[in-house]
Amino acid sequence: MNAPSRPPETPNISHWEERCDLAAAFRWTARMNMHEAVANHFSLAVNDSGTKFLMNPNLRHFSLIRASDLLEIDAEDPETLSRPDAPDPTAWGLHGGVHRACPHARCVMHVHSIHATVLASLADSRLPPIDQNSATFFNRTVVDDGYGGLAFEDEGARCARLLTDPKVQVMIMGNHGVLVIGQTVAETFNRLYYFERAAETYIRALQTGQPLRVLSDEIAEKTAREMEEYPVDSAGAYLRDLRQILDTEGSNYAS
């Protein structure tokens, strides 16, 4: 996609294109009602080691976040919570922990979306491969069954240890919500969207009380691999078009 024009009042803000992608993801998450009040948080690494990252400011509704609002955080800076614009302490604990421990997790999105959180509330929080969307996540999720309260630093570090395998792309946070990782904003947001859709399908299927049509492990794994190897960048196209919709509507996300 073409880089957006930089507003004249923000000439020195770095990582402008990445900021606009992330701001668009916040706006669309709110539009789909996958956010929760002024909680939840996304981050995107902006250095090679992954320890410096962009993140939403504290107590800001997703539908209002602009590219220039995003904080640039250093996971190795112990004084982060003393900054005048300090991030939410649980966002710092969770995202800082993941970015320190998992350099492959360039983008991290955590929400309490309705259907993923319902799944996280079940005694068995695994997502069975009952359709193409859910098969996409076969063998690529981890269930955290050790919830220990709000994700301050110790809890964030514990969660991060569950994501050290690069094959794991989604953490179903038992009693909490969902955390999704990826290489780019487009990839991660696309994964977040499809996981919520897959969780919704599963929850609605359970509500019928009828037996589930579960795919074999072989076909589920084949489907997941085929999606990973899909020959076109559908995630990039999705975010491109979402940004075009926002631009057409006159949104100020890229400001």
Residue 125, pLDDT > 90, answer yes
pLDDT on residue 136: 97
- As a whole number, the mean pLDDT across the chain is 93
- Report whether 168 contacts 105 (CB < 8 A): no
CATH class of the domain at 16-248: alpha beta
pLDDT in tens, 127-173: 999 999 999 999 999 999 989 887 787 888 899 999 999 999 999 99
Non-local CB neighbours of 123 within 8 Å, separated by 6+ positions? none
Q: What is the DSSP string of 217-237?
A: HHHHHHHHHHHHT-SS-HHHH
User: How many alpha carbons lie under 13 Å from residue 49 in its C-beta half-sphere?
Assistant: 8
For the chain, give the percent of residues with pLDDT over 70: 95
Residue 32, pLDDT > 50, answer yes
**CA 46 to CA 48: how far, in whole Å?**
7
pLDDT on residue 148: 83
Residues 220-246: what's their mean pLDDT? 96
The tokens 């049509």 sit on which residue?
A: 213
Of 193, 178, 181, the residue nearest 31 (C-alpha): 193
Residue 94, pLDDT > 80, answer yes
Q: What are phi and psi of 29, to 5 degrees?
A: -60, -40
Residues 2-16: what's their mean pLDDT? 66
pLDDT band at 249; cut points 50, 70, 90 = very high
pLDDT on residue 28: 98
Residue 1, pLDDT > 50, answer no
pLDDT in tens, 43-85: 999 999 999 999 999 999 999 999 999 999 999 998 998 988 9
Q: What are phi and psi of 43, to 5 degrees?
A: -145, 160
Listed by start position, the domains of the chain span 16-248
pLDDT on residue 5: 59
Measured at the CA of 146, the angle between CA 144 and CA 150, to 5 degrees, comes to: 95
Instruction: Give the 3-state secondary structure of residue 9.
Output: coil
Please give the order of strands across the beta sheet that includes 107-111. Answer: 71-74, 52-55, 41-45, 107-111, 177-182, 170-173, 141-144
